[in-house]
Amino acid sequence: MEYPTILAERFGPRFRTQEPMHVHTNFRIGGPAQYYVEARSVDEVRATIAFATQQRIPWVVFGGGSNTLVADAGFPGIVIQLANREVTISGTQVTAGAGAITAAVARQAGEAGLTGYEWAVSLPGTIGGAVRGNAGCFGGETKDVVREVQVLRCSRAGEWQIDVLPAADCGFRYRHSIFKEQSEWVIVAAVLALAPGDAAQSRQRMADYLARRKAKQPLERPSAGCLFTNVELHRLTEAQCAQLDAATGGTWRAVAHDGQLPTGWIVEQSGCKGLRVGDAMISEKHGNFVVNLGHATAADVMTLSDLVRERVRAAWGIDLHEEVQRLGDGASAH
């Protein structure tokens, strides 16, 4: 039997061929996945990966598509969208499937009288994506609440098994985790440790975070959030600090906070706001957002990203690093 038939029999309409990926990404950009599967349980994820590996079909996993730029040529293999969304709460502990929507988990935890995760109500995407990128905002980071992560990985014997990694073994740092280094590991669930709180206060805090985000970010247009990571001050050399002093008359020191220099400010100061390639544009509202004005392509975004990087490097001597993850066109797959 042909493998599309096998997958179609198992997944029904949740298996599709030539699936346009722009409908699954926040950017509204991306060519077709040769095969696409929506996996609603860990067993479905495991079976699809085992099958793809056996058939030597390239595969990648995908969450909410809020941090991903899919190539215009799409992906020549199986895109497995994690949709295991179950959430259970026991005491102050929240266990969420990797496909659970982060904002929904934050709301559920708040309503259950738990505090510490309210900031995540404003974070697009899934728990799996948030753990992998150690996503954070408003002073909170995923690593602050994760107790352990359940990960699907291949044993030496070739079996796909689930291991539990305590947070200390997850290599969390700013927008990074061990899962970015071990790209064939699939996060299937995370256990979050929160604190007893008050549901009404959590609701209020969430409304405040949502309002602050709406005021500062171009949420009315498709984007993938911040294009680049912020600049970590401890990584700046003396020469770079001197170049920054010369370029800004020292004002950058007042703008930096929490050990970082916001890249949105750097991009703005480099005169890149409103810079446009095709339908991809650096937002006028937030310098670190590329917005899709309607028909932007991945190539437009990549050209724009290179332009900004070149300008910033020339003016400030700083290399910006992309936060947005690429899928297809040679980006890592298995």
Give the Cα separation of 89 and 93 in Å (integer).
6
Q: Does 126 bind ligand FAD (CB under 6 A)?
A: yes
Got the DSSP string for 260-307?
EE-HHHHHHHTT-TT-EETTEEE-SS-TTBEEE-SS--HHHHHHHHHH
Considering the complex, state which of residue 244 and residue 323 has its C-beta at the smaller distance from ligand FAD. Answer: 323
Q: Does 282 bind ligand FAD (CB under 6 A)?
A: no
**Which token pair is 76?**
């020549």
- Region binding ligand FAD by CB under 6 A among candidate stretches 88-96, 221-229, 248-256, 301-309: 221-229
Q: Does 154 bind ligand FAD (CB under 6 A)?
A: no
In this structure, which amino acid lies at residue 154? C
Contacts 24+ apart (CB under 8 A), 14-18: 14/38, 14/39, 14/40
Considering the complex, state which of residue 15 and residue 59 has its C-beta at the smaller distance from ligand FAD. Answer: 59
Q: How far is the CB of 39 from ligand FAD (least distance, A)?
A: 10
Q: Which of residues 75-114 bind ligand FAD (CB under 6 A)?
A: 82, 98
Question: If you search the block for the tokens 């480099």, which residue do you land on?
Answer: 270
Q: Does 66 bind ligand FAD (CB under 6 A)?
A: yes
Q: Does 283 bind ligand FAD (CB under 6 A)?
A: no
- Region binding ligand FAD by CB under 6 A among candidate stretches 85-93, 120-128, 153-161, 203-211: 120-128
Got the DSSP string for 73-111?
T-EEEEEEEE----EEEETTEEEEETTSBHHHHHHHHHH
Q: Does 132 bind ligand FAD (CB under 6 A)?
A: yes
Considering the complex, state which of residue 128 and residue 197 has its C-beta at the smaller distance from ligand FAD. Answer: 128
Q: Does 177 bind ligand FAD (CB under 6 A)?
A: no
Cβ atoms 300, 279 nearer than 8 A = yes
Q: Is the dihedral of CA 174, 138, 136, 219 positive or negative?
A: negative
Which of residues 68, 95, 150, 288 is near ligand FAD by CB under 6 A?
Answer: 68
What single-letter DSSP state applies at residue 230? P
**Minimal CA–CA distance to 7: which of 48, 43, 40, 41?**
48
Give Dmax over CA atoms of the chain in angstroms: 69
Considering the complex, state which of residue 315 and residue 331 has its C-beta at the smaller distance from ligand FAD. Answer: 331
- Region binding ligand FAD by CB under 6 A among candidate stretches 34-42, 61-69, 251-259, 269-277: 61-69
Q: How far is the CB of 1 from ligand FAD (least distance, A)?
A: 29
Binding site for ligand FAD (CB under 6 A): 26, 60-68, 82, 98, 123-126, 128-130, 132-133, 135-137, 179, 186-187, 217, 219, 223-225, 325
